[in-house]
Structure 1
Amino acid sequence: MHLDYVYDPDPIQQEQNLDRLIERISRYGVSTVYLQAYADPDGDGVADALYFPNRHLPVRADLFNRVAWQLKKRANVKVYAWMPVLSFDLGPGYQYVTDVRTGNESPDHYRRLSPYVEANRRTIREIYQDLGRLTKFDGLLFHDDAFFTDFEDASPNALSAYQSASLPRDINAIRNDEGLMTAWVRFKTEYLTDFTLELEQAANYYRQADNKVFTTSRNLYAVTVMEPRSQRWFAQDMQNFASGYDFVAVMAMPYMEEAENPDAWLRSLAQRSLAQVSADQLVFELQTQNWHTQTPIPSAEIAQWVRILREEGINNIGYYPDDFHQNHPDINVMRPVFSIGRRFRAIP
């Protein structure tokens, strides 16, 4: 759920937005909401500001804690803080992930802080620590920005990290050797997961005295399931995720992946996912917008996708984004397929 949909510079309008959101979630009868704790008004997936007080980024509004509390108390749902792992725009003076082909940041991907730089890691840990200290939530959803392509990271600190792991400092040399390539992808995959576990500890640091269950979920690109070789394009692996987190959030978005037959593609994705991970640990995230055409996907089609996934044995299903201003998807179409009695776990 985008807090950008709730935020408004007019406090009266913002309050009306919040009331509308709470009413909608209450009517849905869903169990869990992934609530975006960062501001991304331009939709590029990079955090320009945050919705909670912190030491490093501007605060667009101190909104996350209030909305999370209202959702928990009035809509009776669990709330996960949906946070970036690396894609924080802290301006100049920080080292960002670079591509070996250009020596610069890739224009085709999120701007990401290099996790191989200790100053970057410390800053991100402090942001998560501030989140845990100043807000109340039930778990974390790690954004889909925690990836490296097969040309990243080429920053000096990254090359030093590869050398420490008994890999060459030369990425092109790694790419030209299948054995080195396999080792490099494994190293990067585990490095990213280990860093998210550090962030989990940071977010939970001030919460431990509450003795409440704290759960984690991380977004996984579907192509890494459908085409295993593509794991090297993202440094993501489903079984690694299953070992590191309570839930693997598969981005089950057929139009984003340009699937020729969305229904068949979803069935195959479900089958391949269940062959690796238990249904209880999987969350399938559907899309409600076709970002290629910039048009909403019909609610009836989204509901059909939910039915297909249910038939294949997927229990935990949600969608993104939820535009409560336009009632999209249509709650009257979606509510029957998101019935708690059918063990569905909806995550707008």
Structure 2
Amino acid sequence: MLTFDDGYRSFSEAVLPILREEGVKATLAVVTSFLERPPPDLPPMMSWDQVREADRSGLVEIASHSHDLHRYVASNPYRDTDPAVTTRLYRVGEKRYEDRDEYWSRIRKDLRTSRRILGERLGHDVSFLAWPYGEHTAVARRIAAEEGFTATLGLDGVPAAPGDLSGGYLPRVMVYRGSGIDGKSVRWLFDPRPTVRAAQADLDEVYDPDPAMFRLRLELLKDRILRLGATDVFLQGCPDPGGDGFFRAVWFMNHQVAVRADVWSMAAHLFSRAGLRVWIRAPVMNLSWEWEKHPEWRIPAGEKGAGKSPAPWYRRLSPDLEGARRAAVDFFSDIAVYLPIRGILFDDDAFMLEGERLRGSGNGSPEAKSAAIRGMIEEIKAAVLAWRPNCLFARNLYAPAVERDALHPGFSQDFGRFLSDYDLTVVMAYARMEGRREDAGAWTESLARRAIRKWIPPPGRESEPPPVLLKLQAYDWSEEAWVPAEELREQVRGARRAMVNGLGIYPVLPASGPVPDGLLGGKAAGTSERYPYPE
């Protein structure tokens, strides 16, 4: 299925003659406001006569590309912008976000206007809608169906599957000028999974109530991240100024907990403009504000005695309780609604220790606890995907879970399950926290090799690296000192010897102690050693 968006005059002058010559059919999605009032900064648009000619050709089906949603709108108090369909518009003059009803009304009015104009100009109704920029939400798709569109088209970069059309939605793949069409295979259509080299940063370390000073500190942090060789940023979502893991506020607009400052979106835009992919790092079970309000949702205190694990270091909700699950879903739904996220990194609070039991069922088996945590996160993922269909998901994993062949009873975490459940598994390769200071490089290599052995690539993606990232510890919290540069380099060399190229580092500050520039990049900082595979 060939589709062409926007309604440029080149379709009529160049594409339509080829379609006629080859006898090939296509769909043309037009932005009705562009045809009514051609924007001066775009290539020449088709006239309505040319659109009608294409419509009558018998080869072209005309679709809507919205009326006035093919644009970016203000998405935060700092006047950053995002696609109109997936953004809760920020009303700068009123200093507020549009509410749910206003969003629904804006989308509905636009789609209704586009469909009405097309019907009047063509003399018949149109059935298809191509979302501007391929961006859409579950709410927007429902509104489109209510307004008479039988199917909508996205831009997900994945092939359509049987049943997609009957479900009312078709994904598409963008083809660019110069795309390397190669033989009969369609693999050229799909980009390989990008390498992730991540810097994990806390806004606590750079925030300042003075906007100018805050921007300056963010710029310094961005420059530091780029010098490390990072491609991605795991950006803190909840302030933790006391370092005790007790969250009483967040860095973004939401309806669940206090907002310390609505700055996450602005920071994400600043990093994105520098070419960095931005993920939010957020808690799953350690929703401290709910933990305070609902003692009945808390995980009961673990059993004491010989052989039992130490006291937990997070205040967590029991994942088998409906109230706790609903609170988590609501929290992450707000993240999806208000933030321009590339992905979500579920933090390291999603675990249960030996001796702990689920509050609802009373079950203390590692299998039951792992299943309850997984069920909670799957509900969260579904809620996020309703607003951000292309959102990626990663989860922090404790290193001992990789070193075990099956479910680790001390954390109720299963590395093999993580590999199938998440787009990226972030292994906390914190050598010093695991007591491996003296052999950090060898331990990291062993950890990486075990991770690779457990990865079974899906058909057609055998050449891609495993979706695993080893996150290194840059600071020794017990000694309150930075980890020496050579120790970090040795860990990087260990990972590379095991052919693992996904690396991360935490924490990263504008001046991150002795962490060497280029640590995550194409060669080890201060050496000539390069990856043994093409970059």
**TM-score bracket for this pair, using the shorter chain length:** 0.7 to 0.9
Change in CA separation of 1:10 and 1:320 when aligned onto 2, cut-off 3 Å: same
How big is the shift at 1:239?
0.5
Write out per-residue CA displacement over residues 81-125 of structure 1, whole angstroms, 9 at most, x where no aligned residue: 1111111111233421122427xxx85421111222211211111
CA distance in structure 2 between the aligned counterparts of 1:87 and 1:12, rounded to whole angstroms? 32
**Is 1:113 paired with 2:317?**
yes
Secondary structure of residue in 2 paired with 1:232: coil
CA contact (8 A) 1:299 1:334 kept: no
Match of 1:233 in 2: 410
User: Is residue 98 of structure 1 aligned with residue 272 of structure 2?
Assistant: no
2:270 counterpart residue number: 70
Q: In the alignment, which residue of structure 1 is the partner of 2:476?
A: 290
Q: Is 1:89 the equivalent of 2:288?
A: yes
Give distance in 2, aligned partners of 1:35 and 1:88.
17
Which structure would you say has the larger RCO, counting Cα contacts within 8 Å and 6 or more residues apart?
1
| Distance across 1 between alignment mates of 2:252 and 2:285 | 18
Partner Cα distance (2:443, 2:267) in 1: 35
Give distance in 1, aligned partners of 2:532 and 2:320.
41
8 Å Cα contact 2:228-2:516 kept in structure 1? no
Q: Residue 280 and residue 228 in structure 1: after superposition, are their counterparts in 2 closer, same or farther (change >3 A)?
A: closer
Q: Any idea what SS the aligned residue of 1:204 has?
A: helix
Q: Report whether the alignment pairs 1:145 with 2:349.
A: yes
Question: Which residue of structure 1 aligns with residue 217 of structure 2?
Answer: 17
Residue segments in structure 1 that go unaligned for 5+ positions in a row:
163-170, 172-183
CA offsets, 1:216-261, max 9 Å, x none? 1111111122245780011001001011111111111110001252
State the shift of 1:201 in Å.
Answer: 2.0
SS in 2 for 1:331: coil
Q: Deviations over 1:16-59 (max 9, x none)?
A: 21121222234444211111111111222343311111122111
Percent identity among equivalent residues?
Answer: 30
SS at match of 1:50: coil
How many residues are paired up? Answer: 312
Q: Deviations over 1:275-333 (max 9, x none)?
A: 11264211110000112212100123212211221111111001111122345523266
Question: Separation in 1 of the partners of 2:449 and 2:531?
Answer: 20
Query: Could you tell me which amino acid in structure 1 is paired with residue 442 of structure 2?
Result: A
Does the C-alpha gap of structure 1 residues 228 and 205 become closer, same or farther in structure 2, counting only changes over 3 Å? same
Which structure has the larger Rg over C-alpha atoms? 2
2:278–2:342 Cα contact (<8 Å) kept: yes
Aligned to 2:375: 194
Report the counterpart of residue 281 of structure 1 in structure 2.
467
Show the counterpart of 1:174. none
1:242 aligns with 2:415: no
Is there any run of 5+ residues in structure 2 with no aligned partner, and where?
1-200, 305-309, 457-464
Report the 3-state secondary structure (helix = DSSP H, G, I; strand = E; otherwise coil) of the residue aligned with 2:523: helix
1:181 match: none
Within 2, Cα distance between the matches of 1:146 and 1:18? 29
Separation in structure 2 between the aligned mates of residue 66 and residue 158 of structure 1, nearest angstrom? 42
Q: What's the TM-score once normalised by structure 2's chain length?
A: 0.55
Relative to the length of structure 1, the TM-score reads 0.82
Runs in 1 of length 4+ with deviation above 4 angstroms? 227-230, 332-336, 341-344
- Superposition deviation, residue 343 in structure 1: 9.5
- 1:224 and 2:401 aligned: yes
CA RMSD of aligned residues (A): 2.4
Code of the aligned partner of 2:294: G
Instruction: Report the secondary structure of 1:309's partner residue.
Output: helix
SS at match of 1:231: coil
The amino acid of 2:280's aligned partner reads A
Q: 1:335: Cα distance to partner? A: 5.1
Distance 1:230 1:200 in 2: 22
